Structure 1
Amino acid sequence: MASVSAGELGGVESLYLAIRTSRLPEPAGGADVLAELGPEALDFALAVLPGRIASVHATGGALFREAVLDTVVLIIAAQPGAVATIELSRCLPSTIPTTGLGEVEIEVIGRLGALRITPYPAVMVTTDHGVAARPLLDVPNPARSGPIRSLDGNEAVQAALAAARLSLTRGVPVDTVSLPAAEEMKDLRP
């Protein structure tokens, strides 16, 4: 993500992130897709999006398995004006080979260019000056030391997950400023 952190794309305006995994095998402990993939997706989104998350709207359902949330779409508004769409789904037939998190697509659009990561081994960086293919794992950002997920980052991921869960329950967007206190959010966890 050196292209994003180096400012090559300009200010980030839009993020699209999709993680699709196999329907089989049954997830450990019966975890729903938001609990299983949400922390990774939101950690990435928080690292890329400028500013704080202002609101989260989530919708989803048990599309491929009864009684287990296996598909969820999050629409996240971040300040100042960036929008992220995150799609998490256990939808792929077991005959489609996937590794790690599954089939991952990422698109980051900035004022000066775009970055696209698909299930293929290269990252395409597109700007007004041309297109460049880069290895999927590029050089780490020297300005960032340590892991992406700091204590504050972990709390932000948990808050975004709670907002998504609350939005799923209520069926409306949730302003992250209006989230209940941490002890009240225990009931929102799967």
Structure 2
Amino acid sequence: MPDLGGIEPYSQMVGDLRKYAVHPHAVVPFAYDWRLSVRYNANLLADAAHRHLERWRSHQAHAQHMRDTGEDRPAQLLFVAHSMGGLLVRELFRIPGAADDVRAVLTAGTPFLGSVKSAVVLASGKAGAPWLPKKALREASRTMPGLYDLLPSYRCVWDGDDTRRLTVSDLTALGGDADLVIWL
């Protein structure tokens, strides 16, 4: 996107991974639309990972690596995921057969139990990028299944003397869409 150069850290990370991999073609980034559901994106990831692994296993550099090292097992997948990407990889493991060729997973900053920040965005439009209009972000966020996937599943609502988990009623009171809440 224009004017966002330097904001996203992934180009540098992909470059570093390619530098240290057996061959640069062994590493492929997976871009996804975070506004869509984790389940939807995990299915896209599973397809993309399968296609990538087939291409890599037929690449001459893979064959050369196998000869040079005496490795007798074909390549497997290593996922390096940040933030919501870790949720996609976790969901990929729920797809029958999708994780059969996964060797390892490394996640960083993944909100496995959700994030209060997503509820704040839903309620007020705050906690998003500072240049985005809060009212517009709040309205748009109500329609984003991916934001609902990021809602906290832990006790985060102060209820007088104690804390409790979010309920569908809490989310609709914030302006959320009850039909997009799948985990409560």
Both proteins in one fold, TM over 0.5: no
Q: Which has the higher helix share?
A: 2
Class of the TM-score when normalised by the shorter of the 2 chains: under 0.3
TM-score w.r.t. length of structure 2: 0.25
Q: From the two aligned structures, give the one with the greater strand fraction.
A: 1
TM-score, normalised relative to structure 1:
0.25
